[in-house]
Structure 1
Amino acid sequence: MNQKDWLGFSRTALAAAVAIVAAAPVMAQNTTSAIGGRVVGADGKPVAGATVVILHKESGSSNTQTTDADGRYNARGLRVGGPYTITVTKGGDREVSENVYLALAETLGLDVQLGKSSTQLETVVTTGSATAAKFNNSTMGSGTQINRAELDAYASIARNLQDYARNDPRLAQTDKERGEISAMGQNSRYNSITIDGVAINDSFGLEANNLPTAKQPISIDAIQSVQVNLSNYDVTQKGYTGANINAVTKSGTNEFKGSVYYVYRNDDMVGKRFDRGNQRYTDFLPFKEDTKGFTLGGPILKDKLFFFVNYEELKSNRAQPEFGPIGSSLTNNAISQGQLDAITQTAKNAYGIDTGSVIGQSQLSVKDYLAKIDWNINDNHRASIRVARTEQSDTNNGSFGGYSATGLQMTSQWWQQKKKIDTVVGQWFADWTPDFSTELKISNRDYNSVPQNNSNLPAIGIRFNGALPDGAPAGASTGNRFVNFGTEQSRQFNVLDTKTLDAYFGATWIKNDHEIKFGGDLQRNKIYNAFFQNVNGNYTFGCESAWTYSFGAINCNTASAAQVQAAVLENFTRGRPSSYQVQVPVAGGTLDDGIAKWTLGQTGVFLQDTWNVSKDLNITAGFRVDQLSTNDKPTYNAPQPRRSCRAR
Structure 2
Amino acid sequence: MTTSSINGFITDASGEFLPGATVTAVHEPSGTTYGTVTTEAGRYTFPSVRIGGPYKITVTYVGFSEQSKSNVFAELGLAASVNITLKEGGTQLEEVLITSDAAQLFNGERTGAASSINTEQLRTLPTVTRSISDFTRLSPQSNGGNSFGGRDGRYNNFQVDGANFNNGFGLNDNPLPGGGGLSIDAIEEIQINIAPYDVRQSGFSGAGINAVTRSGTNKFVGSAYGFFNNQNFQGKKVNGDEITRPDATSQTLGFRLGGPLIKNKLFFFVNAEHIKKTGSGVGAVNLWKASENGVADPSRNISRTRRSDLEAVRNHLINQWGYDPGAYEDYANDNSEKTTSFLARIDWNINAKNKLAVRYNQVESSAPSLVNANSGAYPRTPFETGRVSSLSMSFANTMYSTKNIVRSITAELNSEITPRLSNQFLATYSRIQATRSSPSKEFPMIDIGFAGDSLRKAGVTTYQNYISAGYELFTYGNDVLNDNFIITNNLNYTVGRHNFTSGISFEMQKFGNRYLRNGTSYYRYASVEEFLTTGTPNEVAPLQFALTYPYEGQDPYAPIKYGLPSIYIQDKFDISERFTLTAGIRAEMPVFLNDLTPNTSS
- The residue aligned with 1:105 is 77
CA gap 1:240/1:405 in 2 versus in 1, 3 angstroms: farther
The Cα offsets for residues 492-542 of structure 1, whole Å up to 9 and x where unpaired, read as: 121111111010100111121111110111111111211111122101111
Q: Among 55, 60, 65, which residue is 1:93 paired with?
A: 65
Residue 612 of structure 1: CA displacement?
Answer: 1.1
Q: 1:575 to 1:77 in 2, by over 3 A?
A: farther
- Corresponding residue number in structure 2 for 1:254: 218
Deviation at 1:156, TM superposition (A): 1.1
Alpha-carbon displacement from aligned partner over 1:258-292 (angstroms, at most 9, x marks no partner): 10010110111234699xxxx98642332321111
Q: What residue is the counterpart of 1:265 in the other structure?
A: 229
Distance 2:253 2:495 in 1: 51
Distance 2:520 2:100 in 1: 72
The CA RMSD over aligned residues, in Å, is 2.9
Partner of 1:182: 147
Q: Which residue does the alignment assign to 1:381?
A: 354
Shift in Å, 1:575: 6.3
**Given the alignment, which residue of 339, 344, 348 partners 2:309?**
339
Cα deviation for residue 218 of structure 1 reads 1.6
Tell me: CA distance 1:617–1:454, structure 2 relative to 1, closer, same or farther (3 Å): same
Q: In 2, are the aligned partners of 1:541 and 1:571 still within 8 Å (CA)?
A: no
> Which residue is equivalent to 2:378?
none
Looking at structure 1, the residues matched to 410 and 128 of structure 2 have their Cα atoms a distance apart, in angstroms, of: 28
Q: Would you say 1:536 and 2:558 are equivalent positions?
A: no
Cα 1:261–1:637 change in 2 (3 A) is closer
Of residues 532, 545, 564, the one that matches 1:569 is 532
Once residues 107 and 155 of structure 2 are traced to their aligned partners in structure 1, the CA distance between those partners, rounded to angstroms, is 24
Kept in 1, the 8 Å contact 2:474–2:519? The answer is no
Give the drift of 1:172: 2.1
Preserved CA contact (<8 Å) 1:285 1:320: no
> Residue 164 of structure 1 corresponds to which residue in structure 2?
135
| Amino acid aligned to 2:445 | A
TM-fit CA distance, 1:96: 1.1
Q: Given the two structures, how large is their TM-score scaled by the length of structure 1?
A: 0.81
Q: Which residue of 2 aligns with 1:200?
A: 165
Quote the residue 2:270 is aligned against.
Answer: 309
The 5 A counterparts of 1:59-70 are: 59-70=30-41
CA contact (8 A) 1:298 1:308 kept: yes
Tell me how far apart the structure 1 counterparts of residues 232 and 350 of structure 2 sit (CA, whole Å): 53
Contact 2:53 2:71 in 1 (8 A): yes
How far apart are 1:415 and its partner, in Å? 1.9
> What is the SS of the residue equivalent to 1:45?
coil
Map 1:40-189 onto structure 2 (within 5 A): 40-91=11-62, 92-115=64-87, 130-131=102-103, 137-173=108-144, 180-189=145-154
- Equivalent residue for 2:195, pick from 225, 231, 239: 231
Check whether the contact 1:39–1:50 (CA below 8 A) recurs between aligned residues. yes
User: How many aligned residue pairs are there?
Assistant: 562
Change (3 A) 1:579 1:365: same
Helix, strand or coil at the partner of 2:198: coil
Q: Provide the TM-score with structure 2 as the length reference.
A: 0.87
- Equivalent residues of 1:571, 1:577 under 8 A apart: no
Q: Using a 3 Å threshold, how does the CA distance of structure 1 residues 341 and 132 change in structure 2: closer, same or farther?
A: farther
Q: Secondary structure at the match of 1:171?
A: coil
Deviations 1:308-341 (A, max 9, x none): 0011000111232415245688744432333322
For residues 207 and 624 of structure 1, the distance between their equivalents in structure 2, rounded to whole angstroms, comes to 29
CA drift of 1:595 comes to 2.5
Higher relative contact order (CA 8 A, sep 6+): 1
Q: CA deviation at 1:81?
A: 0.7
Q: Does 1:218 pair with 2:192? A: no
The one-letter amino acid paired with 2:257 is: L
| Cα separation, partners in 2 of 1:334 and 1:368, compared to 1, 3 Å | same
User: Helix, strand or coil: the match of 1:152?
Assistant: helix
Greater Cα offset, 68-77 or 575-584: 575-584
**Which is worse superposed, 86-95 or 573-582?**
573-582
- Deviations 1:361-384 (Å, cap 9, x if unpaired)? 221111111110000011211111
Q: In structure 2, do the counterparts of structure 1 residues 272 and 413 end up closer, same or farther at CA, with 3 Å as the change threshold? A: farther
Q: Which residue type is aligned with residue 133 of structure 2?
A: Q
1:130-161: CA deviation from partner (whole Å, max 9, x where unpaired): 5475x765443110111100111111121111
Residue in 2 aligned with 1:7? none
- For residues 609 and 406 of structure 1, do their structure 2 counterparts lie closer, same or farther at Cα, with a shift above 3 Å needed? farther
- Judged with a 3 Å threshold, the aligned counterparts in structure 2 of structure 1 residues 228 and 459 are, in CA distance, closer, same or farther, namely same
- The separation in 2 between residues aligned to 1:578 and 1:34, in whole angstroms, is 68
Judge conservation of contact 1:386–1:425 (CA < 8 Å) in 2.
yes
Tell me, in whole angstroms, the C-alpha distance in 2 between the residues paired with 1:414 and 1:432: 58
Describe the shift of the 1:584–1:294 C-alpha distance in structure 2 as closer, same or farther (beyond 3 A): closer
Q: C-alpha displacement at 1:580, in angstroms? A: 0.5
Q: Which consecutive unaligned segments of at least 5 residues does structure 1 have?
A: 1-29, 174-179, 468-477, 544-564, 641-648
Alignment of 1:586-601 (within 5 A): 586=551, 589-590=552-553, 592-601=554-563
**CA contact under 8 A between 1:424 and 1:443: conserved in structure 2?**
yes
In 2, distance between residues paired with 1:273 and 1:465? 38
Match of 1:353 among 311, 323, 326: 323
SS of the residue 2:135 aligns to: helix
The percentage of counterpart residues that share the same residue type is 29
Q: Who is 1:36 aligned against?
A: 7
Closer/same/farther in 2, CA of residues 330 and 512 from structure 1, 3 Å limit: farther
Taking a change above 3 Å as real, the CA distance of residues 332 and 219 of structure 1, as seen in their structure-2 partners, is same
Q: What SS is found at the alignment partner of 1:334?
A: strand
| 2:382 counterpart residue number | none
The answer to whether residue 416 in structure 2 is matched with residue 459 in structure 1 is: no
Correspondence for 1:17: none
Q: 1:201·1:212 contact (CA, 8 Å) conserved in 2?
A: yes
Q: Kindly tell me: are residues 161 and 516 of structure 1, through their superposed partners in 2, closer, same or farther at Cα, counting changes over 3 Å?
A: same
Please tell me whether the aligned partners of residues 161 and 245 of structure 1 are also in contact (alpha carbons under 8 angstroms).
no
Q: Give 1:209's match in structure 2, choosing from 159, 174, 190.
A: 174
Q: Which amino acid aligns with 2:517?
A: Q
Structure 2 unaligned residues grouped into runs of 5+: 292-297, 375-386, 454-461
Give, in whole Å, the separation in 2 of the partners of 1:436 and 1:332.
72
Structure 2 SS opposite 1:44: coil
2:564 corresponds in structure 1 to 602
Corresponding residue for residue 584 of structure 1: 549
Contact 1:197 1:246 in 2 (8 A): yes
For 2:100 and 2:217, the matched residues in 1 are separated by: 35
The answer to whether the 8 Å contact 2:501/2:569 transfers is: yes
Residues 620, 583 of structure 1: alpha-carbon distance in 2 compared, 3 angstrom cutoff? same
One-letter code aligned to 2:172: E
For 2:247 and 2:601, locate their aligned partners in 1 and report how far apart those are by CA, in whole Å. 61
Question: 2:282 is paired with a residue of what secondary structure?
Answer: coil
